[in-house]
Amino acid sequence: MTTLTFTLLVGLGSFLAGLLGALTGLGGGVVIVPLLTLGFGVDFRYAVGASLVSVIATSSGAAAAYVREGFTNIRVGMFLEVATTTGALLGAYLAELISTSALAIAFGLVLFYSAWSASRPRPQHLVATPDPIAQRLRLDGSYPTGQGERYYHVQRVPLGFGLMVGAGALSGLLGIGSGALKVLAMDQAMCLPFKVSTTTSNFMIGVTAAASAGVYLARGYIDPGIAMPVMLGVLGGASLGARVLTRATPKALRLLFAVVIAALAVEMIYNGATGRI
């Protein structure tokens, strides 16, 4: 395969990853890492480095549009970034000590849990009772719907904060931006509406990934020849996804979220267990 062909194929795959990342709040990393390792034979740690760069691009491409539309809860995002950034730095340092096969299996297990959690049918669970901690931090907010502005109360703030430390650590270990866990933590633990969860996740993942990317860059795991087409492709896909999300239904987003990451989970666990990564 020539360099030009490699660049074009990686760019196209990254465009689709960015589109998916913007729609689901995943950040694109859950597609980029398997794409590079399984599709192009890139070393896992170099794939993680490129993925972290792509996560920053996804966040940059989608976050501004979501803030402008009024979906993103900026106060929640900034508060939880304290936890995810701390976890991301820890995970990036631990990544050097763990084998790539073990990382791939861990990656797949995280995706399986995320797919199962997101696919469970349950009614919209906006809580009418304010949470004292959320009120004190002024985390409650609203988002636009077809029937006008809808208000919601943030719940279980300490639980959400703790889950974000774990999400940040997985971001540093696996290069996925940990969007899957961020979305689930905000959606299920903190009771934010799904669209608010995905858009706030996109707002957050860039900062989390930047903390991890600095460590990978210092260790030489970010190759410009791989990272450049990944970043450009993801940025284009994220920009398109930001326009599509505002018109998509939460049910469709949940289904897309669950199906894609379940398929990727099977692939990553199989290849990690058989030593192909």
∠ CA 171-175-176, nearest 5°, is 75
Give me the pLDDT at residue 229, please. 92
Question: What pLDDT, in 10s, does the model give residues 10-46?
Answer: 999 889 887 876 676 665 666 787 788 878 888 888 9
Number of domains in the chain: 1
Percentage of the chain beyond pLDDT 70 is: 84
Question: What pLDDT, in 10s, does the model give residues 186-238?
Answer: 888 888 888 888 788 878 877 777 777 888 888 888 898 999 999 888 888 87
Give me the pLDDT at residue 33, please. 79
Give me the pLDDT at residue 8, please. 92
Per-residue pLDDT at 102 exceeds 60: yes
Per-residue pLDDT at 156 exceeds 80: yes
Compute the distance between CA of residue 49 and CA of residue 82 in angstroms, rounded to an integer.
22
Per-residue pLDDT at 123 exceeds 60: no
111: Cβ contacts below 8 Å, ≥ 6 apart: 30, 180, 261, 262, 264, 265, 268
Tokens of 124: 């919209």
Per-residue pLDDT at 126 exceeds 70: no
Lowest mean pLDDT among 169-178, 201-210, 252-261: 169-178
Compute the distance between CA of residue 101 and CA of residue 98 in angstroms, rounded to an integer.
9
Task: Look up the domain containing 213 and give its range.
Answer: 3-273
State the average pLDDT over residues 67-78. Answer: 87
Residue 144: pLDDT band with limits 50, 70, 90? confident
Compute the distance between CA of residue 173 and CA of residue 195 in angstroms, rounded to an integer.
27
Compute the distance between CA of residue 203 and CA of residue 168 in angstroms, rounded to an integer.
14
| Residue 128 C-alpha from the chain's centroid | 28
Residue 246: pLDDT band with limits 50, 70, 90? low
262: Cβ contacts below 8 Å, ≥ 6 apart: 111, 112, 115, 119
Tokens of 242: 């930001």
Query: Can you give the three-state secondary structure of the chain, one letter per residue?
Result: CCHHHHHHHHHHHHHHHHHHHHHHCCCCHHHHHHHHHHHCCCCHHHHHHHHHHHHHHHHHHHHHHHHHHCCCCHHHHHHHHHHHHHHHHHHHHHHHHCCHHHHHHHHHHHHHHHHHHHHCCCCCCCCCCCCHHHHHHCCCEEEEECCEEEEECCCCHHHHHHHHHHHHHHHHHHCCCCHHHHHHHHHHHCCCCHHHHHHHHHHHHHHHHHHHHHHHHHCCCCCHHHHHHHHHHHHHHHHHHHHHHCCCCHHHHHHHHHHHHHHHHHHHHHHHHCCCC
Q: 253 and 245 in contact (C-beta within 8 Å)?
A: yes
Per-residue pLDDT at 239 exceeds 60: yes
